[in-house]
């Protein structure tokens, strides 16, 4: 009887942890900023290839700012 209780408790814990991880994996988070560690003194090359299939060209824009100012 004791072995069955341990098995059921272990299965419940495994199932609950798995479900919590699955829900966290499925959650959408949006972060609108990028932080760069400038203390290393190295140059960071950023290459982006982004496609917005339903956005016309006149509505699409990007802005970037470096240590020296906006570009």
Which residue segment(s) compose the domain that 22 sits in? 1-28
Residue 40 resides in a domain? no
Residue 44 resides in a domain? no
Residue 11 resides in a domain? yes
Euclidean distance between CA atoms 59 and 55, whole angstroms: 7
**Six-digit token pair at 43?**
């140059």
Question: Do residues 36 and 44 touch, judged by C-beta distance below 8 A?
Answer: yes
Q: How many domains does the chain have?
A: 1
Euclidean distance between CA atoms 71 and 63, whole angstroms: 7
For the question of whether the overall pTM of this predicted structure is more than 0.75, the answer is no
Range of 5-9, 35-39, 47-51, 54-58 with top mean pLDDT: 5-9
Q: What's the pLDDT at 52? A: 79
Residue 1 resides in a domain? yes
**Closest alpha carbon to 50 in 40, 60, 41, 65:** 60
Residue 46 resides in a domain? no
H helix runs in the chain, sequence order: 2-26
pLDDT digits (tens, 9 = 90+) for 16-41: 999 999 999 999 888 888 777 777 77
């Amino acid at each position: 009887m004791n072995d069955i209780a341990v098995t059921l408790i272990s299965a419940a814990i495994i199932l609950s942890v798995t479900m919590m991880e699955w829900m966290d994996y499925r959650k959408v988070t949006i972060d609108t900023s990028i932080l760069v560690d400038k203390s290393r003194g190295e140059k960071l090359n950023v290459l982006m290839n982004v496609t917005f299939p339903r956005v016309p060209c006149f509505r699409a824009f990007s802005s970037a700012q470096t240590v020296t100012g906006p570009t």
